[in-house]
């Protein structure tokens, strides 16, 4: 699995999408693995596809369900994937499950959407997608 900073991930995604538009290849699938409520209300990058790694109230991953949903959207295991979560931790487990299922080009966003906690237990103040000023939207 590739580990990309948010800025690296955005640049990689933009370059791959431009290449895809030029040569007709499949653009990477950008997957938000957070719970649906996180994606909707905290915010998300534009164009991200949502498949939660786990949901409330169980908070228990179902790797087979997750892999099946990503595979259905990706159309095959050769498609490049970029994974995003809140802090960059869930994507490690989700990425491992996808690689175990045969996906060969998996990357995740280090520090995730909101980043690490600071000394006051707040996110988006040290690192992460929003901290780096990358595009995002909110309901």
Strand order in the sheet with 29-32: 2-4, 106-109, 81-84, 29-32, 49-50
In a domain, 16, yes or no: no
In a domain, 88, yes or no: yes
pLDDT at 5 over 90: yes
Beta bridge partners of 98: none
Confidence tier at 106 by pLDDT (50, 70, 90): very high
Instruction: Kindly report the average pLDDT of the chain as a whole number.
Output: 96
Q: Which of 62, 43, 64, 65 is nearest to 54 (CA)?
A: 62
Instruction: Note down the domain range covering 127.
Output: 1-10+28-133
Report whether 34 contacts 123 (CB < 8 A). Answer: no
- What is the pTM assigned to this prediction? 0.96
Residue 97: CATH number of its domain:
3.40.250.10
In a domain, 98, yes or no: yes
Give me the percent of the chain exceeding a pLDDT of 90: 99
DSSP conformational letter for 21: H
In a domain, 122, yes or no: yes
In a domain, 22, yes or no: no
DSSP conformational letter for 137: B
Confidence tier at 39 by pLDDT (50, 70, 90): very high
Question: In this predicted structure, what is the pLDDT of residue 81?
Answer: 98
In a domain, 102, yes or no: yes
In a domain, 15, yes or no: no
Distances (CA, A) of 71 to 86, 94, 111, 126: 22, 13, 25, 33
Confidence tier at 139 by pLDDT (50, 70, 90): confident
In a domain, 35, yes or no: yes
Question: In this predicted structure, what is the pLDDT of residue 100?
Answer: 98
Domain total for the chain? 1
């Amino acid at each position: 699995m590739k580990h990309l900073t948010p800025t690296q991930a955005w640049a990689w995604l933009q370059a791959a999408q431009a290449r895809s538009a030029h040569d007709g290849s499949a653009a990477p699938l950008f997957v938000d693995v957070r719970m649906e409520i996180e994606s909707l209300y905290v915010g998300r990058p534009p164009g991200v596809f949502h498949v939660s790694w786990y949901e409330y109230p169980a908070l228990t991953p179902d790797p087979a369900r997750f892999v099946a949903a990503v595979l259905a959207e990706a159309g095959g295991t050769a498609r490049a994937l970029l994974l995003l979560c809140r802090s960059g931790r869930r994507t490690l487990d989700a990425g491992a499950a996808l690689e175990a299922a045969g996906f060969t080009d998996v990357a995740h966003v280090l520090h995730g959407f909101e980043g690490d906690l600071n000394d006051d237990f707040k996110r988006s103040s040290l690192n992460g997608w929003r901290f780096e000023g990358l595009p995002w939207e909110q309901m």
